[in-house]
């Protein structure tokens, strides 16, 4: 069958307020042209992020009723811990309220002035926590990862030769090696199991802990199953276990492939590092058996981890993205290929060649998407990554717009509406102008900065 059907039935619905284009033009202006500044009920289809925006299942809602809110030693924690260890065989599982909290705790151990931390591509909060500690993040994705239409099956892979040279160059200033699966900032592209193992082996050779940012681990495992030689007959759970078996730790935003609305964790094997992490957790998040989460949230995540490795779910999720990519490609919209796991990425630099990178073509495209169709997307380009540690500005490697698809939230008709909005946008794209930033913060400016349109 060619029709993509959602492998679930809808039991509860949430109304969408349909705004007019004139209303949206006023609303985005009042938000200083920053999509993060909009009220969510002024958005028709919200693709700003897939983090915590998915729909929980009836089984997850039922699990919430089992939540035990004891301050210490809650059975909800032990159910959560067992669910994590079933897929990720780490010694210490430390819950946090979301992934960036886990990153902050990790950087309290590994970060610091003069440190250099490599990854395939650090995402925004990871890089923000690294830089806040005084360290520097470095991106070492393979060359194909910077070519939007290159069809390499694992464009998120670490460049092993560059990592080797990096470790030789920076030596003792490297506290750990990181990899993110899938590679969000690079277009949601997966990392192969072979590359994960090669990265782990090289880190071990140099005596460095290997840490995986695993927030989209199930989607990454699906791509391994579909694209990597020798993996096609294996179950998703076993592929996931193999990915983490070679790691020394992980950070996790369970708002992605934990299928939760909140939550995350830091996992470690080293006892001393885990003790430091728990001490930090107690100061900033909560006791180690709840870590800033309610017991009901821990139970919802335990159930979500059982559901996210279901192959019918993963097949549907990836097919939706592929469908949107194919349709956009057919009408001439430049997209990152092959389709990623959690989002569709538009190459704004290619589609708006008249807008220079330092005039933020991704922001221009994202604003236009909202004004024309009420779609909220996220710029991932020079706004997000162009500000340099010394305060100067430089073009990012790519200027992308991410359409992050919330899990189990929208239907096929929403996808078709999205395509129609792009068809309308194509008629006026050559008239779009860039933006200037008139107010910004020192770190992770894209969340709160204010823009003015160029005239």
pLDDT at 4 over 90: no
pLDDT attached to residue 185: 81
CATH architecture of 58-307: 3-Layer(aba) Sandwich (3.40)
Q: What is the mean pLDDT of residues 327-338?
A: 96
CATH T-level assignment (fold) for domain 21-50+311-453 = 3.90.1150
Q: Which part of the chain has CATH 3.40.640.10?
A: 58-307
Per-residue confidence band for 354, with pLDDT thresholds at 50, 70 and 90: very high
* 189-222 residue pLDDT tens: 999 999 999 999 999 999 999 999 999 999 999 9
- 193-205 and 236-245 helices, crossing angle to 10°: 20
Domain with CATH 3.90.1150.10 in the chain: 21-50+311-453
For the chain, the C-alpha Rg in angstroms (whole number) is: 21
pLDDT bin (cut points 50, 70, 90) of residue 337 is very high
Q: Is pLDDT at 256 greater than 80 in this prediction?
A: yes
For residue 263, is pLDDT > 90? yes
Task: Please tell me the predicted confidence (pLDDT) of residue 187.
Answer: 85
Say how far apart CA 251 and CA 84 lie, in whole Å: 12
pLDDT interval class at 123 (50, 70, 90): confident
In this predicted model, what pLDDT tens digit does every residue of 147-194 receive, in sequence order? 998 999 999 999 999 999 999 999 999 999 999 999 988 889 999 999
Buried b (16+ CB within 10 A) or exposed e, 137-156: bbbbbbebbeebeeebebbb
pLDDT at position 143 over 80 = yes
Query: Left if phi > 0, otherwise alpha if psi is -120 to 50, otherwise beta: which for 408?
Result: left
- The average confidence (pLDDT) of the chain is 96
pLDDT of residue 389: 82
Q: What distance in Å separates the CA atoms of residue 219 and residue 28, rounded to the nearest whole number?
A: 33
d(C-alpha 3, C-alpha 6), whole Å: 10
Tell me what pLDDT residue 373 has: 97
pLDDT tens string 79-97: 999 999 999 999 999 999 9
Residues 6+ apart with CB under 8 A from 451: 32, 33, 34, 360, 363, 435, 436, 437, 438
Mean pLDDT confidence for 36-56: 96
Predicted pLDDT at 241:
98
d(CA 368, CA 345): 15
Coil, strand or helix at 351: helix
**For residue 108, which of 268, 301, 287, 292 has the smallest C-alpha distance?**
268
Ordered alpha helix ranges (H), 308-443? 311-330, 348-351, 361-373, 382-385, 412-426
Q: What SS3 class is residue 195? A: helix
pLDDT tens for 376-426 read 999 999 999 888 888 889 999 999 999 999 999 999 999 999 999 999 999
**Whole-number pLDDT of residue 186:** 82
**Residue 367 and residue 28 in contact, taking contact as beta carbons nearer than 8 Å:** yes
- Candidates 85, 96, 82, 136; CA nearest to 112 is 136
């Amino acid at each position: 069958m060619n029709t993509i059907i959602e492998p679930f039935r809808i039991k509860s619905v949430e109304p969408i307020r349909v705004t007019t284009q004139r209303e949206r033009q006023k609303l985005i202006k009042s938000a200083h042209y920053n999509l993060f500044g909009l009220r969510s009920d002024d958005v028709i289809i919200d693709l700003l992020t897939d983090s915590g925006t998915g729909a929980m299942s009836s089984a997850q809602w039922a699990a919430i009723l089992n939540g035990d809110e004891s301050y210490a030693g809650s059975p909800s924690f032990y159910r959560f811990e067992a669910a994590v260890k079933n897929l990720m065989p780490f010694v210490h599982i430390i819950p946090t309220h979301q992934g960036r909290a886990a990153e902050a705790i990790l950087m309290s151990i590994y970060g610091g002035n003069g440190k250099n931390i490599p990854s395939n591509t650090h995402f925004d909060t990871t890089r923000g926590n690294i830089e806040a500690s005084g360290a520097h993040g470095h991106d070492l994705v393979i060359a194909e990862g910077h070519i939007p239409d290159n069809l390499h099956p694992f464009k998120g892979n670490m460049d092993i030769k560059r990592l080797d040279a990096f470790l030789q160059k920076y030596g003792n200033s490297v506290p750990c090696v990181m990899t993110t699966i899938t590679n969000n900032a690079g277009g949601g592209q997966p990392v192969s199991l072979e590359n994960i193992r090669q990265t782990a082996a090289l880190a071990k050779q140099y005596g460095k802990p290997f840490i995986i940012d695993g927030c989209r681990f199930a989607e990454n495992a699906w791509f391994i199953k579909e694209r990597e030689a020798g993996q096609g007959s294996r179950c998703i759970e076993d592929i996931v276990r193999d990915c983490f078996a070679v790691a020394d730790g992980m950070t996790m935003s369970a708002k992605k492939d934990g299928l939760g609305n909140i939550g995350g964790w830091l996992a470690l094997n080293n006892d001393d590092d885990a003790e430091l992490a728990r001490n930090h957790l107690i100061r900033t998040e909560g006791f180690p058996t709840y870590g800033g989460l309610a017991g009901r949230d821990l139970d919802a995540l335990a159930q979500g981890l059982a559901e996210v490795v279901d192959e019918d779910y993963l097949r549907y999720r990836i097919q939706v993205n592929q469908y949107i990519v194919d349709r956009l490609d057919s009408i001439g919209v430049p997209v990152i290929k092959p389709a990623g796991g959690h989002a569709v990425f538009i190459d704004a630099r290619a589609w708006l060649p008249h807008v220079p990178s330092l005039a933020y073509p991704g922001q221009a495209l994202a604003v236009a998407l909202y004004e024309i169709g009420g779609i909220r997307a996220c710029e991932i380009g020079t706004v997000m990554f162009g500000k340099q540690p010394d305060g100067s500005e430089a073009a990012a490697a790519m200027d992308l717009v991410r359409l992050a698809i919330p899990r189990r939230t929208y239907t096929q008709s929403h996808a078709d509406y999205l395509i129609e909005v792009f068809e309308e946008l194509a008629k006026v794209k050559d008239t779009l102008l860039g933006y200037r930033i008139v107010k910004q913060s020192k770190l992770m400016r894209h969340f709160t900065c204010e823009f003015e349109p160029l005239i």
